Structure 1
Amino acid sequence: MQTLYRRLLDLMPRLGVHVTDLGPGTAVVSRRGGRVRTPLGPGADLLTRGNGRYAVTEAGKDTWVVARGKGLGRWRAERLGDSGARLLFDEEAGKDERKVQLAAAEYLCTQHVAGMLELYGVNCVFDVGANAGQYAKRLRRLGYTGRIVSFEPTAHAFERLSAAAADDPAWQVHHLGLGREDTVTAIHTGWNTMNSLLPPSDYGLGRYRRFNETRTEEIRVRRLDGVLDEALDGIEQPRPFLKMDTQGYDLEVFAGAGERIGDFVGLQSEVAVLRLYEGSPRMSEAVAAYEDGGFEITGMYPVTREAATGRVVEFDCVMMRAKAAPERGLAVR
């Protein structure tokens, strides 16, 4: 025998009311348009208007991703070890392994740097080779709120950098390059984010067409130890971090810190396995110099890879001064 509840549900469509039955004792009643119920999993349903088809991807406990349209079922969720995180993976995009790996490395590198800034209590990031401010903006998105001091020598990029920092009172910008000595010199421009004080190597010329056409721009270069006190002014107990991305010139920036490199608790440098610029150091030379300065590797992430061979061209190398880490209690056994 039908219950009163069930008889009412059966009656409502005759009155122009649509009923979607969700289970014993539960229903959705609506006047406008039909509703479609898509089961997501135990105890969860998706209720939508119309007859659209949906694909459901489980993304963890009591979590689902719902997609509608063509290419249903392309998504999958990959568990990232025991971290509790999952990677939502588009299988179509995943056909280009190199692009996926490099995009993931860029994200993981920035995540790692943000974690190191927090762990070491960094309160000032020196952003050398800032371009249009991409690095600083990523740090802000990941929660870093301390001071950022950006250096960009080229006029066009500096204009964009200034605009990016305009509404951020803790972000300083300087129209300068940094190097081993105070000077005025020429930089190769017109290479997008790859403008360099160094000419391209034979390998670089073969890899990038943009290197075959170049302009130069006169820029001012300062030593890092000469701008350090001004940049840190007002910070009671400075704990600075040095990020360098100067297209083959990072070791010159590092040398310009002199003895003041000991003030830094960490650094990030783009180190080359295959040299794009004539006269730039190899990775082993750069890492050895940083280690001599008291820094140790905490992360290494590929920046570019050859599509034909899979060889890494450059790595983002993150290094910290382990002695500068705050004490966090007893070591884990």
Structure 2
Amino acid sequence: MLKLIQRSLYSLGLSVKLAKPENFKWLQERDIETVLDIGANVGQFATKINAILPKARIISFEPLSNCYQVLATKTATKNVSAYNFALGEEDCHVEINVSKHTPSSSLLDMAQLHKDVFAGTDYSGKETIKVRRLDDVVSELGDLGKFLVKIDVQGFEDRVIKGGMNTIQQAELIIIETSFKELYKGQLLFNGIYNLLNGMGFEFQGNMTQCFNKADGSILYAESIFSNNRGKHC
């Protein structure tokens, strides 16, 4: 299955190199009780993390209506709560750009590099969605206990963080998509995300995966891991 996925992505101009560990003991030992799955799409990460942390409660956020319906159906028998809105820096209703390949949908305009490298991911329409701040939403979620935050929102990552700084600062771990080249116009690249999270007390731990441009071998983006440093130097 993995090879089939890799071949499919390669046909789009994307070479995927897995940089994940052979097992997830390092994650299981953190005793994570809740996972905030921000940018859930149709439940790919929710399904994966449920297998790794079967006792953890998963709270997924997905703004696209069609993807949300698939997510809700796909995770109905799992310990997953799904919400049909995006997270950002302010409460509002906005139009999101919907890609032919839904995981590439974004509130930002797509950069030319993305169009060049990922054939068939052009925007095909728009949908009006609701955006809320995580710091406003968290009171509705109950006790999170020790929690992990996953953020994969196609260039909108820094807006999610800024709208949820009080909450995110309490997370044990963050798994966040970071880009090394501009794939969405105006997005904050890896150095900016690193500085933002480092200033909040998080330490970069490496990448779970890295994705390479088939054309020149350069790294386009990664799933980066940041660990909370609170109390480390006490």
> Shorter-chain-normalised TM-score: which range?
0.7 to 0.9
The answer as to whether partners of 2:155 and 2:184 remain within 8 angstroms in 1 is yes
Offset of residue 324 of structure 1: 6.2
> Are 2:16 and 1:102 equivalent residues in the alignment?
yes
> Aligned partners of 2:37 and 2:31: how far apart in 1?
17
What RMSD over aligned residues (CA atoms) do the two structures have, in Å?
Answer: 2.4
- Deviates most, 199-208 or 128-137: 199-208
Do residues 224 (structure 1) and 134 (structure 2) align?
yes
Q: Distance in 2 between matches of 1:111 and 1:130?
A: 23
Given that 1:120 and 1:324 are in contact with CA atoms closer than 8 Å, whether structure 2 keeps it comes out as no
Moved over 6 A (4+): none
Aligned to 2:184: 277
Identity of paired residues, percent? Answer: 23
Q: Tell me by how many angstroms 1:103 deviates.
A: 5.3
Give the alignment partner of residue 314 of structure 1, picking from 221, 224, 230: 221
Aligned residue pairs total 221
Question: Once the 2 structures are TM-superposed, how far is the Cα of residue 309 of structure 1 from its aligned partner?
Answer: 1.1
Structure 2 contact 114–184 (Cα < 8 Å) conserved: yes
| Partner SS for 2:32 | coil
Which stretch shows the higher mean deviation, 145-154 or 189-198? 189-198
Q: Is residue 171 of structure 1 aligned with residue 85 of structure 2? A: no
CA distance in 1 between partners of 2:122 and 2:229 (Å): 43
SS at match of 2:97: strand
After superposition, the Cα gap between the structure-2 partners of 1:110 and 1:183, relative to the gap in structure 1 and judged at 3 Å, is farther
For residue 202 of structure 1, report the CA deviation from its aligned partner. 2.3
Does the aligned pair in 1 maintain the 2:97–2:123 contact within 8 Å?
Answer: no
Alignment partner of 1:190 is 2:99:
yes
Tell me, what secondary structure is at the counterpart of 1:315?
A: strand
- Is the aligned partner of 1:133 residue 2:43? yes
Q: Distance in 2 between matches of 1:324 and 1:136?
A: 29
Structure 1 residues 322 and 119, CA, compared in 2 at 3 Å: closer, same or farther? farther
Larger Rg: 1
Secondary structure class of the residue paired with 1:206: helix
Quote how far apart the aligned CAs of 1:308 are. 2.0
TM-score of the aligned structures, taking structure 2 as reference length: 0.86
Unpaired segments ≥5 residues, structure 1 = 1-88, 326-333
| Match 1:115 to one of 19, 23, 26 | 26
Q: What is the CA distance between 1:109 and its match in structure 2?
A: 6.3
Matched, 1:287 2:194: yes
Q: 1:207 aligns with which of 117, 137, 140?
A: 117
Give the TM-score, by structure 1 length. Answer: 0.61
> What SS class does the counterpart of residue 18 from structure 2 fall into?
helix
SS of structure 2 residue aligned to 1:186: strand
Cα contact 2:34–2:57 (8 A) shared by 1:
yes
Matched, 1:162 2:76: no
1:227-266 deviation line (CA, Å, top 9, x unaligned): 11222x155xx11211000000111101111333322121
